[in-house]
Amino acid sequence: MIIDYRAYSFRPGTVADFVRMFREAGLPIQNRILGPGCFAGLYTTEIGNVNEAIHLWRYRDAAERAQKRALLYEDAAFMDYVREVRQILVAQEVRLLTQVDLPQGATGPLPTD
């Protein structure tokens, strides 16, 4: 499995606008195309660059990611969403993360409370 780490920096004061756009348009479109199991989470920054949002996506491998992302860019609704987000986007950083094999039990679920 790989994780597609996508950190977006926005114009000051517009992170909430991005979260709204993502919630209302971006996530439903991407879930429709990528499948709901692909989305791993959206996070905002509390300390550091407070004008940043990070989203994580799960893929089996880089080939699956390339195939699914190609489908996104063929979708008119997704491209409309991208055009809207680009109006407030300042910078973007993308990384593909690979999981390190550790002994069973070394990692576990995060606390929920």
3-state secondary structure of 91: strand
Average pLDDT taken over every residue of the chain? 93
pTM reported for the whole predicted model: 0.86
Q: What is the CATH number of the domain that holds 56?
A: 3.30.70.100
Q: pLDDT tens-digit profile of 72-81?
A: 999 999 999 9
Q: Is residue 106 part of a domain?
A: no
Residue 104, domain member (yes or no): no
How confident is the model at residue 102, as a pLDDT?
78
Domain count within the chain: 1
Query: pLDDT band for position 13 (50/70/90)?
Result: very high
Range of the domain at 24: 2-98
- Kindly state whether residue 112 falls inside one of the protein's structural domains: no
Residue 109 has pLDDT above 70, yes or no: no
